[in-house]
A and B are shown apart, each in its own frame.
Chain A
Amino acid sequence: MTTLVIAEHDAEGLKPASLHALAAAARLDGETDLLVMGQGCRAAAEAGTALGVRQVLLADEAGYAHQLAEPCAALVTSLAGDYSHLLAPATTFGKNLMPRVAALLDVGMVADIIAIEAEDTFVRPIYAGNAIATVRSLDPIKVLTIRATAFEAVTAGPDPAPVVELAHPAEPGGSRFVTDALAESARPELTAARVVISGGRGLGSKENFALLERLADKLGAAVGASRAAVDAGFAANDMQVGQTGKIVAPELYIAVGLSGAIQHLAGMKDSRVIVAINKDGEAPIFQVADYGLVADLFDVLPELERQLAP
């Protein structure tokens, strides 16, 4: 058995989600290779050499720039014959790529797994996390995406692995990159943050989100949002936590002015400690909160900020 992990990276280095996918790979028997596809991404490949892998495969050419699904899926498919398992993080990158790979290989796929029970048996949430399914894959190659928050990240080890350059020209696939509009943030990445502070519709306006941001800066936290807050224009859509947004499991999750709809809970209920601040004592968020404070957030937030001041 050999596993291929498809890295998500930003050319300079590996994205944290890739480290969690490598950790899932380490739960399987056999060795792991890491594949880095992109343009000018040697640094990302180098970063992978100390993570306990057998080798890092590097496909570095213009055709793989922006990691479009069509050329990347063709490359992964061409490599797949050597592997029993193909893994990618269950991020928008992995979710976009892996089903295409599976279909090209004529195999099914198991998405967003949270545990590995055997080489062919995986656990995944369904119905927005309201049920947990255990699934056995019957295909010769297992194509999986990994929920990052369910596996601890791998850490760097001593033995550097070789970087092997692949000579596989990218096949054009009918799609073309036009632009990126990436949200700028100096705060930690939402899915990797130790503390997350999320706001809901209760914040009332985009300006009031600044209250959360000030508190987040005090705690070194990332800022998240409920779908209602995103739809109301209070927060950018890449801040959305939930079934259809990002899945987080930080040490501390502070939910401010959000009711706790099941779609939101699906994205955060595996957090270690959950704090809810809401003036409605009946809000469903209190059913999952370790510490609940029934109060007006506009009184609480400044007070919290003051009390956390060093």
Chain B
Amino acid sequence: MKVLVTIKRVIDYHVKIRVKADQSGVDLANVKMAANPFCEIAVEEAVRMKEKGWVSEVVAVSVGPAAAQEQLRAALALGADRAVLVQADDFPEPLTVARLLASLCEREQPGLVLLGKQSIDTDNNQVGQMLAALNGWPQATFASHIERENDELLVTREVDGGLQTLALALPAVVTTDLRLNEPRYASLPNIMKAKQKPLETLTADALGVTPRVHSQLLKVTPPPVRQAGIKVADVAELVDKLKHEAKVI
């Protein structure tokens, strides 16, 4: 079985973002970029599946700018066999990304697509579900544990009340939650070897997909700032303030 695993290039987790003064978006110039953390978990899981002998090939895919090659090379260094970059200069909307991935699925015929549950920039949490719909495949979102049983995948999902386990017929789409695994670091020899692994670049055209616009970003503003609070000296003062000033207890 082949696994497709997706990676998005996003602003690094640790960066404090800045909203542009003209409200057109978030300033991405000269900001450190990285792989979306949920995607790293997806890559790790795909590589572990290969190590267990469940899968024969791991294909890392990114939809994004040419610079996303950097994140694909990192995935190759972690154990992906080859990579595909679907080049898109703007940030396509989730449905367009899903349509591109669906077209790629038709070409690659994977048994499983692993994606992060959401990207930490747009916080949409949509692409995996949309891809499953377009392919007509079952989905398991927010996965915190994956096992294989006969021809099915047993996926434990993190839901609001606790955990839920589903069995999926393959092919299927699974999106990863934080506790699925702890991603490894690439070793220097593997980073060197990754440079030799194949990385193919495609366009939306080549995949027969015409990007469409479903929404218009009108403005981006900073969030409202909270009023600075006060420090209290001890518990008695805290309780007094909560009772008589804030009136919450």
Q: Write the residues of chain A forming the contact surface with B, with a CB cutoff of 8 angstroms.
A: 66, 68-70, 73, 91-93, 95-104, 106-112, 121, 124-139, 173-183, 191, 195, 219, 227, 230-231, 236-238, 243-244, 246, 251-252, 262, 269, 272-275, 281, 286-295, 300, 303-304, 307-308
Inter-chain CA distance A231–B140, complex, in Å, is 22
0/1 per residue, B198-221, Cβ < 8 Å to A?
A: 000000000000000111111111
- B161: nearest residue on chain A (CB-CB)? A182
Contact assessment for B123 and A125 in the assembled complex, using a CB-CB cutoff below 8 Å: yes
Contact assessment for B133 and A183 in the assembled complex, using a CB-CB cutoff below 8 Å: no
Inter-chain CA distance A69–B141, complex, in Å, is 10
Inter-chain CA distance A48–B123, complex, in Å, is 30
A291-B216 contact, Cβ under 8 Å, with A103-B134, A111-B123, A237-B158: no
Give B132 Cβ to nearest chain A Cβ, in Å.
Answer: 6
Give A289 Cβ to nearest chain B Cβ, in Å.
Answer: 5
Which 5 A-B pairs rank lowest in CB-CB distance, beginning with the nearest?
Answer: A108-B214, A174-B138, A99-B129, A103-B133, A103-B130
Say yes or no: is B235 at the interface (Cβ < 8 Å to chain A).
yes
Contact of B246 among A96, A135, A246, A291 (CB under 8 A): A291
Query: Which of B52-60, B105-113, B165-173 forms part of the interface with chain A?
Result: B165-173
Contact assessment for B125 and A111 in the assembled complex, using a CB-CB cutoff below 8 Å: yes
Say yes or no: is B186 at the interface (Cβ < 8 Å to chain A).
no
6 contacts across the A-B interface (CB closer than 8 A): A96-B139, A99-B125, A130-B222, A138-B215, A182-B161, A308-B239
Inter-chain CA distance A62–B163, complex, in Å, is 21
Contact assessment for A104 and B133 in the assembled complex, using a CB-CB cutoff below 8 Å: yes
Contact assessment for A132 and B138 in the assembled complex, using a CB-CB cutoff below 8 Å: no
- A130: nearest residue on chain B (CB-CB)? B17
Give A150 Cβ to nearest chain B Cβ, in Å.
Answer: 12
Contact assessment for A137 and B221 in the assembled complex, using a CB-CB cutoff below 8 Å: no
Inter-chain CA distance A139–B229, complex, in Å, is 43
0/1 per residue, B20-56, Cβ < 8 Å to A?
A: 0000001000000000000000000000000000000
Contact of B169 among A106, A175, A294 (CB under 8 A): A175
Contact assessment for A179 and B165 in the assembled complex, using a CB-CB cutoff below 8 Å: yes
Give B23 Cβ to nearest chain A Cβ, in Å.
Answer: 9
A292-B161 contact, Cβ under 8 Å, with A127-B17, A174-B169: no
Question: Chain A residues with Cβ under 8 A from B248's Cβ?
Answer: 195, 251-252, 272-273
Contact assessment for A138 and B167 in the assembled complex, using a CB-CB cutoff below 8 Å: no
Q: Write the residues of chain B forming the contact surface with A, with a CB cutoff of 8 angstroms.
A: 11, 16-17, 19, 26, 93-95, 98, 117-118, 120-134, 137-142, 144, 152, 154, 157-169, 172, 177-179, 213-223, 226-232, 234-236, 238-239, 241-242, 246, 248-249
Inter-chain CA distance A98–B220, complex, in Å, is 24
- B139: nearest residue on chain A (CB-CB)? A69
Contact assessment for A100 and B167 in the assembled complex, using a CB-CB cutoff below 8 Å: no
Give B221 Cβ to nearest chain A Cβ, in Å.
Answer: 5
Question: Chain A residues with Cβ under 8 A from B142's Cβ?
Answer: 92, 96
Contact assessment for B162 and A135 in the assembled complex, using a CB-CB cutoff below 8 Å: no
Give A84 Cβ to nearest chain B Cβ, in Å.
Answer: 15
Question: Chain B residues with Cβ under 8 A from A69's Cβ?
Answer: 129, 132, 138-139, 141
Contact assessment for A138 and B133 in the assembled complex, using a CB-CB cutoff below 8 Å: no
Contact assessment for B220 and A132 in the assembled complex, using a CB-CB cutoff below 8 Å: yes
- A117: nearest residue on chain B (CB-CB)? B218
Question: Chain B residues with Cβ under 8 A from A294's Cβ?
Answer: 231
- A281: nearest residue on chain B (CB-CB)? B231
Question: Chain B residues with Cβ under 8 A from A70's Cβ?
Answer: 138-139
Inter-chain CA distance A189–B132, complex, in Å, is 31
Question: Chain B residues with Cβ under 8 A from A129's Cβ?
Answer: 223
11 more A-B residue pairs beyond the given contacts A135-B216, A275-B242, A295-B235, with a C-beta to C-beta distance below 8 A: A96-B142, A131-B26, A132-B222, A138-B214, A174-B172, A177-B164, A236-B162, A238-B158, A252-B248, A307-B235, A308-B249
Contact assessment for B232 and A178 in the assembled complex, using a CB-CB cutoff below 8 Å: no
Contact assessment for A126 and B138 in the assembled complex, using a CB-CB cutoff below 8 Å: no
Contact assessment for A293 and B235 in the assembled complex, using a CB-CB cutoff below 8 Å: yes
Question: Chain B residues with Cβ under 8 A from A92's Cβ?
Answer: 141-142, 157-160
Inter-chain CA distance A157–B226, complex, in Å, is 35
A177-B166 contact, Cβ under 8 Å, with A130-B16, A300-B235, A307-B239: yes
Contact assessment for A175 and B95 in the assembled complex, using a CB-CB cutoff below 8 Å: no
Contact of B214 among A137, A182, A304 (CB under 8 A): A137
Question: Chain B residues with Cβ under 8 A from A138's Cβ?
Answer: 213-216
Contact assessment for A291 and B241 in the assembled complex, using a CB-CB cutoff below 8 Å: yes
Contact assessment for B158 and A99 in the assembled complex, using a CB-CB cutoff below 8 Å: no
Contact of A100 among B16, B129, B179, B216 (CB under 8 A): B129
Contact assessment for B133 and A91 in the assembled complex, using a CB-CB cutoff below 8 Å: no
Contact assessment for B160 and A111 in the assembled complex, using a CB-CB cutoff below 8 Å: no
Question: Chain B residues with Cβ under 8 A from A126's Cβ?
Answer: 26, 121-123, 220
A131-B220 contact, Cβ under 8 Å, with A108-B215, A137-B214, A176-B167: yes
- A218: nearest residue on chain B (CB-CB)? B249
Contact assessment for A290 and B221 in the assembled complex, using a CB-CB cutoff below 8 Å: no
